[in-house]
Structure 1
Amino acid sequence: MECRLCLGPAPAETSVSIFSDPHPQRLEQRIRTCCQIQVKRGDGLPDTVCLSCKTNLELLISFREACFRSYETSQLRLDDCLKIKTEEVLLEDVIWDDEPALPTIHQNNSEISSQAFPSETKLILHERSHTGEKYTCDICLKSYSQRSNLTFHKKSHTGIRSHRCDICLKSFIRKHHLASHLRSHTGEKPYKCEICLKSFSEQSSLRIHEKSHTEPHVKLHKCEICLKSFSRKSSLVMHVKLHTGKKPYKCDICLKSFAEKSNLEKHKKVHTGIKPHKCDICLKSFAQKTVLVIHLRTHTGEKPYECEICLKSFAQKCKLQLHKTKAH
């Protein structure tokens, strides 16, 4: 029995198993966060840590969290100071009774853009879209027009994810990301397309979908292997993975691999035991809505996938592809 971190002796009575630690944030996640060491079940390396290393790890986590809390407090104080300075500058912008009123820079910019804003702060943020002024991350050099967005972005480098899903224990940096994730468990899709009434769980997905109605002919990204075209580069990137056979997204529970991250997230629902999608005919429940749709075809007899060679029909697309491989 060796310690995963120091390779010292770690007898069962004085060691802690990495994958059975009762702490709310799993031990393997804390090791990855603080030590940047990848820890996976069944990787052939020790799966225990000695009490000394565990204590040091907890101290390191507490110290990191304290540092980041102090950093965020300092950022808020700095933002408050900048806000006060901005207000002081605005107070100096006084028009004397015997002088004609001259347009300010802010007025000129608002006239150029023909937009009105409810507050001076909103106008200042808007003006950065014209000036190009941005706040840059000193770690990865990614830029943002608002300091608050940069502050949130920097949390992605710390590994601290304070918003946790109570169902699957997945953690997120921002609260609204957790809210969007929870819809993957409930099946809620509050964003509806006004044209075709198709619903989506996230507003960003709806915006992308709406472009298919306004710009249905624009498909600029073409696969060099099969020549299929896509309107978004991200869709092409995911499609190419089907040709390469690469499956970089692995389930940390059963080690099954997937080509797309979204398919991995759907697969993980199987391990939670939650099945929110119920068949109205036989009352059988399913973890994924797509599986329910396929199941309903056993009641309706629908077979939408037809072989163009022999005209045989199938209820599932994968069955059609298997048929083509074997029969033709």
Structure 2
Amino acid sequence: MECRLCLGPAPADSSVSIFGDPHPERLEQRIRTCCQIYVKRGDGLPDIVCISCKNNLELLISFRKACFRNNETSQVRLDDCLKIKTEEVLLEDIIWDDEPSLLTNHRKSSEICSKPSPSESELVLHTREKPFKCEICLKSFCHKSKLESHKKLHTELKPYKCDICVKSFFQKSSLKSHEKLHTGIRPHKCDTCLKTFIHKYELVLHLRSHTGEKPYQCEICLKTFSLNTYLRLHQKTHTGIISHKCEICSKSFSRKSSLELHKKLHTGIKPHKCETCLKSFIHKYELVLHLRSHTGEKPYQCDICLKSFAQKSNLRLHKKIHTGKKPHKCEICLKSFYRKYDVVLHLRFHMGEKPYKCEICLKSFTRKCSLMLHKTTHSGIKPH
């Protein structure tokens, strides 16, 4: 009788069933929202929580709701302030008793230095109103021109075409930005690593890799990102909606781009080939990572022990070693691991599972890397 969250003792008289909670917001939903833990019935893990953890969840939920409610209130107040318009007092409405010349002088000066009044589109921008809505996807815009530009996405018409590579674009500004690729000029240089870029915004984004700046934060789990696009993609994980499904294997994805990448697996086509060892890959980024095995390039360095890695994901996993925390535990022998994947591999030793089999001698292995190392004995190539 352990608590699912704190692993503390949870006897029947001081615990609550996760799936038997009568609250309108079910307990498993609150755990997913607050802790980012997806609880499933029959997953083999404890299905109860202690009273202390339940109370903490209630407090956290109340705090989140209060924060969102207060933020909305503050936003309404700000919008109300921005909508207040300063009333102009006409000089003709003022009664001048004894200084008529002052009115005349002011009229002359106003004719010389008067500024044009703000346009209607500028006022809309400050009030944050978006009165123009797309009839297809219901997305709203501040200006009608932006709506018209957006509608081209639905028609798939790309009127602006590059004269060199015949690539088409929805907007003229996108075409001008694209044409810089053909000039070969990269005027924006990073002072740290001397890498050059075509566009200034690319340099700004690149500098965050040196500074570690991540200005975009998720309001739910407080995770930060260097790009706003990464944040928007991450926020879809909180919705739990998996809308894109592969028609061949029925595997689902939260992003359309992930589905498109996955579909390439079924085609069997590997268009990206290494010129050194002629090995082919489905995705271009796989080739980029593979080339580092030939060049020995390891661009990602640990700030603590200065150890370098070829992939950023390996660096993130390595940094967990310095924390000393091993959050993933084997349920059979209670051995702890830094990564959840290591637990999966470790359990194969207990279960005797060896899913990777050599096609030549039919010998089986628990890990894929062990199989790849074994195959070198058949090819006669000595491993490094």
How would you bin the TM-score normalised by the shorter chain?
Answer: 0.3 to 0.5
Higher-Rg member (1/2): 2
Give TM-score, length-normalised by structure 2. 0.41
Higher relative contact order (CA 8 A, sep 6+): 1
Question: TM-score, length-normalised on structure 1?
Answer: 0.46
